[in-house]
Each structure stands twice: as structure tokens, then as C-alpha cells.
Structure 1
Amino acid sequence: MQSGASQDTKPVVFVLLDRFTLLAFAASIEPLRLANRTAERSLYDLSVVSESGAPVTASCGVEIKVDGALPDCPSGAMIVVCGGTDVGRAVTRPLMNWLRREARRGVSLCAVDTGAQALAASGLLDGRKATIHWENREGFAEAFDEVELSSRIFVIDGERMTAAGGLAATDLMLRLISLQHGPELGSEVSDQMVYTAPRTDTENQRLSTPARIGVRHPKLSRVIALMHEHIEDPLSAAALAQAVGMSTRQLERLFRRYLDRSPKRYYLELRLEKARRLLLQTDMSVISVALACGFTSPSHFSKCYRSQYGRTPYRERGVVDADARGQSSGPRGATLVALPDGALEVEADDLPEDEDDDAEA
């Protein structure tokens, strides 16, 4: 904590969760430090804590010493929760209870990167608008349907503020500096950071579809957008082609020309990418993940997943098979899988397919 803070100094406490993202943390704290330096007075009293007061290791392996534990936070401080990878394990009951107590005291609560999950799990984003890193969007939406989830880089909803991570944290802090101390100071801090084009809360997190795929073709972009919008209820190739005024043969040629794969294959890969994020970020059952990604047959989902990623959905979560534990194997053509709760479940290997339309020929 800084010394010599005056009465008009705003205390800001950064709560580092285990495996937090160093970039988002630095992008959050540096604008406030530079605001103090530029203003030549202590506008913000900055401190860093962890749940227990022990050093915290970032996702990149760098260990950060902290100023104290959660109970050591000054009263009335704005709290910034810094999340990162495997955030579900880092959000503990003591942390949630502490956040709820602070919220009852009326403090401002901010979260960067996946820190929004800590606020949501504590019930502090219910009925509010928020954002989270795009990679965690599907899992967050499935777990916290009471939150109005935005794809913007940052969201300010009263005393709750969330930023998607990375440099979006800087954009949020520059906005707060401008709101609290004037746009001139915000611009000066931006100049100090050599950040010449700060973004507003109207900006989306991800590049446009044409920019991501490196192709500017309006009909191709529209079809890909429709695929993203219909992951749970996939559209047929005929329906996609009709939506953009093309024949299925023309659509096939379009995808082959620009993306070197068929529309069916591209669509399947999108669905499997979402499935992988849900498997890694949520506690949803494998069957629920399959349904959320448009697969009505668990065996077909498992086969497609293994073909894409080299392992089955169950093993994606580190579940060992029964043979490795000295247990009996399942029926022929299947693997008996040990689930985390100790139960056994049969995972089909090469069972007959009933969803040939979803598979790439």
C-alpha cells in the first residue's frame, strides 16, 4: 500500500486468484499508477492481496508477492478481481463469502479476464450486464444464465465493472480515470502508455469474421455467422445456401476455395471447438455438452471428438479408463470409463453411426 495517501485518495485492491493472467493484471494496475504519477498526487492507493496472503503464481509461472490477505483490505476500497486459467478451482467459498460481505458494504466490484466468474458465482452479477473473455463465454453462459452476458470489451453496470482481459482491462481503467478525474488526465495516461487509440465499451472483443479468416466475401461471412448462431441446432447445408441465395454446390465451392474444407467440415469443427471449451470450463455432463453443440447421439459426438482432438470427451477431463484402474472392461466396442465421482460409464468406441449428416465424408 502507498504511504501518504490523502483523504480524497481512492483505495484500490487487486485480488489475485491462483493462475491469474499477468497481462490483465498489469493492464489494470499500470494505468492507475500512471494516473498518480501524471497528476503528481496520490489519486489511487494501490494494494495487492490473495485469499490467504501467500504469494500467487500467474498462469505464465511468475510468482507475485502480495500485501496481505482478504481481511487486510482497507474499508471502502474498489476491488478488482484478477482471474486467469482454471478459474473454477480458484473461486473458493471463503472468497465468495468475502465478496458478498464487501458488496453489502456498497463497494465497487471490478473483475478482469475470468474474474467475472468469481462475481457471478457469488451471485453479484445476477440481473446485471457483464462480460468475460470470449474463450470462456460459452461456459459462463451455461453456468450463469441470470447474467446478461455481453461480447463487449468491458462493461460498467453501476458498481459492477467487468473487462474481458488483456488490453481491455486498460480500456476500462482509462475510462474510470476519465470519469473520476477528467478526460484530459485519461488522455495523458494513455499517452504515457503509448496507447494512442483507447477503445470504448461499444467495441467487440473479437475481430470480424472476414478479418479472422482473412477473406472478405459477404456471403461466406454471412454463412459462418449463421453457423455460429446455430451451434445447438445446426442448419443443413441447403438451409445455409438458401439463406445467402446460393445453391449447395456453389456453397461447397466457396468454402473449398477460401477455407480449403467443405461447409459441413467447417461447421463440425466450430461445434467441436465449443464442446471442448464447455468440457474444460464447466461441470456439464458429456451428454449435456453434446446436446449443447448439436449432437443428439453421444456415441457420434465421442467419435467426432476423438477424430478431431485425438482423445475422447471423457479423457479430455483427465478421466482414466477402467483398465488403468484394474477394473473390468465394458462390452466389446466400448470402454468402461471411471467418472470423477467413482461411478462407471460406458463410452462407445466405434458403434454404428446414426448421424452421418454430421460427419465429414
Structure 2
Amino acid sequence: MADINIQTIPVEGDGKPRRFVFVLLDQFTLLCYACAVESLRIANRMSGKTLYEWRVIGEGGDTATCSAGTSFQLDGDLEEITRDEVVVLCGGIDVASATTKRLLNWVRREARRGVKMGGLCTAGYSLAKAGLLDGKRATIHWENQDSFMEEFEDVTLTKSVFVVDGNTFTTAGGTASIDLMLKFIADDHGEALAGAVADQLIYTTIRTDQDTQRLSVPTRIGVRHPKLSAVIQMMESNIEEPISPSILAREVGMSTRQLERLFRRYLNRSPKRYYMELRLQKARNLLMQTDMSVINVALACGFASPSHFSKCYRAQYNTTPYRERGAHATRLSI
């Protein structure tokens, strides 16, 4: 079937193609990479010009395997990049293991040469590990935020869909690659082209760096009750030092009994139980994504003693924190 003739979009800027170098880390997320490349491809198609060029490299220079199990042929190994190219690291599952010593040395070397560099999905971890995000704003997939904050205290982590700070950029993963690339396209060649690319992608709502990556509390829990949402937001923001139900209730102008009834009615659990589940979920993320000791994980999630933490963890997940970490390490090594 022949390609449909399209009306090309007049573009701003010079005609020199902007070149991207995608670095595929082991177990990278296919969606993030595909969204980025497709946005650039469609920009070329809609403009009728080669506005963007790209190549794909990775450690070893042979193939890279995504988290879905598909392997991709690489154009080359980690090699010297010209200063007018933009480096995009693509991360995914177990990014700590994929962030090898060789990769870090390469990232630092290219950054010293002034190359613009960013990370999609979890690859913000690789940039932070290399020291490129110290003193800067960044973002990463919400599932990795707890562990990231524990390890990189010099980075200002946000919940934005994407962040561009100076010569670095990061995204939250998923379709956030589209939003980032649409920003680049708009900056390079105008809003009309970026809008046309979004239309081709059936992407009806273009997000900016002011948009957050997770759904609002009411949307997530399926309940639109302002006081309940406010309490849950306070809980999520105070995991290390939990707030008592009486204080939470007072903050939203309710009695403790009223708050209890509110949680029972909408969430079928007490405020204390809901809060505990939030804390244990963070603990599970830290156990699986960091090398923090179980004691430090317990303290970071508001537990005064390892024994109490272990008891609560077993009740929730039917295993101990130590066994959870061991089982996770075994799964990754298979």
C-alpha cells in the first residue's frame, strides 16, 4: 500500500539535521526508545526534510536486549561523540546492573567534552551515578523515586514528566519520551510541526515539564473527596516520620472518628492500615532497588526497630525483608 501524500509543514530554524545518539542499556524499556525515535521520524516526514538523524549504540557494539526480550542490532560500540550530537541513554529494568563501570567512564568523558546528554526512563540513575546531575533538577520513573532520593542527595528530584536542566535532561519513562521530543521539535522548528507530530501519534494532550507523572490522588484511588485526598497526600509525603491519625484529622478539620469512618467508607480500611501499606510499599521498593541495609530501610520507612519492621512486612507480603531481597537477587541472576 502506497504512503498517503501529506501536506508538509513549514518549519522554522536552519536546515542542518540535528543528530541523536541513542545508547541502549541492557534490559532497556522498548516503549521509551520507540516513542522517542518515532517522534523524530514523523517530524522528518511531516516537514518533508531530514531534520533529525540518529544512530543506536551500546556496550559491546553488537546487540542490545530490551525488557520485553527482543534484541536490537546496534550501529556501534561506546565511541567518541561529536559535540553537535545529543546522547540519549535508554534505561529499563535493573538499571543499577546495566550501569557498568565502562558505561560510567564513557558518560563522564563525553560530558566533559560538552555533549548534551539525557536519560529516558530509569537512565536518570546512570547520569546521577556518573555525577552529571549533582546540583541539578531531574526526574525518574515514580517506582524508582524512593531509592533514587536515598542514593543521590545532591540531585533535586521532581515528579515531573520530564526535566531539562542545562546540558542534561531526564524523563519519567513511558510516553514521556514523546513529550520531551515534542519540546525539542518545537524549540528547533516551531510549535506547528510539534503539533503535527502529536496529531500523527494520536497524542491528544501534550504535557510540559510542569506536569506530574502520576495520576492525581483522586484518580488513583477512584474517590473524589477533597479531605481524603489531602490526608493521603500528607501520608505519602511523610513516610520516614509518620503522622498520627489525630494530627492528620486535625489538619483537615475532622475528628479522628470522622477520619476513621471516611477511610472505612471509601477504602475499606483504617487510616492506620492504609498508612502502613504505603510505608511497606516504599520499603519493598528500597529493598529491591538499593543496597541499603534492612535496618536503614526500616528507619527510612518509619519503623523504630528491625523486628517490628520484619513482623509487619511478613504480615503484608508473607515473607521477610531478608528473604524478599534474596529472592529478588536470584530472579535477576537467572
User: When the two structures are superposed, what TM-score results if normalisation uses the length of structure 2?
Assistant: 0.91
Percent identical residues:
57
**Paired position in structure 1 for 2:283:** 275
**Paired position in structure 2 for 1:324:** none
**Paired position in structure 2 for 1:257:** 265
Shift of 1:196: 2.2
Question: Is 1:112 matched with 2:120?
Answer: yes
| Structure 1 contact 154–201 (Cα < 8 Å) conserved | yes
Question: Is 1:93 matched with 2:105?
Answer: no
**Paired position in structure 2 for 1:293:** 301
| Structure 2 contact 279–301 (Cα < 8 Å) conserved | yes
What's the CA shift string for 1:48-84, capped at 9, x where partnerless? 1111112111111111111111116555310000000
Shift of 1:240: 1.2
Question: Is 1:312 matched with 2:317?
Answer: no
Q: Which entry has the higher C-alpha Rg, 1 or 2?
A: 1
Question: Is 1:20 matched with 2:16?
Answer: no
Question: Is 1:218 matched with 2:223?
Answer: no
| Structure 2 contact 295–306 (Cα < 8 Å) conserved | yes
Question: Is 1:51 matched with 2:56?
Answer: no
| Structure 1 contact 25–82 (Cα < 8 Å) conserved | yes
Give the Cα–Cα distance (whole angstroms) in 2 for the partners of residues 128 and 284 of structure 1.
24
| Paired residues for 1:169-188 under 5 Å | 169-188=177-196
| Structure 1 contact 51–70 (Cα < 8 Å) conserved | yes
Picking from 166, 169, 173, the partner of 2:174 is 166
| Structure 2 contact 89–119 (Cα < 8 Å) conserved | yes
**Paired position in structure 2 for 1:326:** none
| CA RMSD in angstroms, aligned pairs only | 1.5
Question: Is 1:121 matched with 2:118?
Answer: no
Question: Is 1:60 matched with 2:68?
Answer: yes
**Secondary structure at 2:322's aligned position in 1?**
helix
Letter in 2 for 1:47: R
**Paired position in structure 1 for 2:252:** 244
What's the CA shift string for 1:193-223, capped at 9, x where partnerless? 1112211111011111111111111111111
Give the Cα–Cα distance (whole angstroms) in 1 for the partners of residues 198 and 234 of structure 2.
38
Moved beyond 4 Å, runs of 4+: 72-75
Shift of 1:42: 1.5
**Paired position in structure 2 for 1:198:** 206
| Structure 1 contact 241–248 (Cα < 8 Å) conserved | yes
| Structure 1 contact 11–74 (Cα < 8 Å) conserved | no
Give the Cα–Cα distance (whole angstroms) in 2 for the partners of residues 41 and 254 of structure 1.
58
Range 201-210 or range 241-250, more displaced: 241-250
Give the Cα–Cα distance (whole angstroms) in 1 for the partners of residues 271 and 133 of structure 2.
38
Letter in 1 for 2:186: S
Change (3 A) 1:7 1:257: closer
Give the Cα–Cα distance (whole angstroms) in 1 for the partners of residues 84 and 126 of structure 2.
19
Give the number of equivalent residue pairs.
315
Give the Cα–Cα distance (whole angstroms) in 2 for the partners of residues 59 and 287 of structure 1.
31
Gaps of 5+ in 1: 1-5, 321-361
**Paired position in structure 2 for 1:81:** 89
Letter in 1 for 2:306: P
What's the CA shift string for 1:237-290, capped at 9, x where partnerless? 111111112121111111110000011100000000000011111111100000
Give the Cα–Cα distance (whole angstroms) in 1 for the partners of residues 237 and 319 of structure 2.
27
Give the Cα–Cα distance (whole angstroms) in 2 for the partners of residues 319 and 285 of structure 1.
16
**Paired position in structure 2 for 1:139:** 147
**Paired position in structure 1 for 2:42:** 34
Gaps of 5+ in 2: 1-13, 329-334
**Paired position in structure 1 for 2:159:** 151
Shift of 1:297: 0.8
**Paired position in structure 1 for 2:79:** 71
Give the Cα–Cα distance (whole angstroms) in 1 for the partners of residues 179 and 135 of structure 2.
24
**Secondary structure at 2:157's aligned position in 1?**
strand
| Structure 2 contact 162–170 (Cα < 8 Å) conserved | yes
User: When the two structures are superposed, what TM-score results if normalisation uses the length of structure 1?
Assistant: 0.85
Shift of 1:172: 0.4
**Secondary structure at 1:81's aligned position in 2?**
strand
